[in-house]
Amino acid sequence: MGRQIRPYAFGVAYLCALIFIFNVFVGEGIGTLFDDQSMLGLTFGMTAFMCFIFLVTGWWIRSDKLMRWGLLLSCGLFSARAAFIFLDIGLAQLPGWISIGIVLMSGGAWLLERDANRGRVSE
């Protein structure tokens, strides 16, 4: 297909699709704040859907700008997810710490994408 392979962006898009499905259609998230299709859960679900759309559309139409926006939005989504998990059910929750890891990875991928377009990344 001639498109650049971006496995990390694909993985984040998959996670965002899962968050969208579970928060909007199933009505279950982690903790009590996201359950029963609450407004917070629906907001998270729709933000995850926007992130998914940015990443998939950016890959499909070969738009680095949309890919960067999707990665940046995933940083915000997963940092807010971690904060709400920690505030709702405590710091000793693995999903919250995994979300922090995803924030670090998405931020790094965003920096690499941004710098690659500016010609700063050396091969």
pLDDT in tens, 61-115: 988 899 999 999 999 999 999 998 898 888 888 888 999 999 999 999 999 888 8
At position 23, the amino acid (one-letter code) is N
- The packing angle between helices 39-60 and 7-20, to 10°, is 150
- Higher-pLDDT residue of 55, 123: 55
The residue among 14, 81, 89 whose CA lies nearest residue 6 is: 14
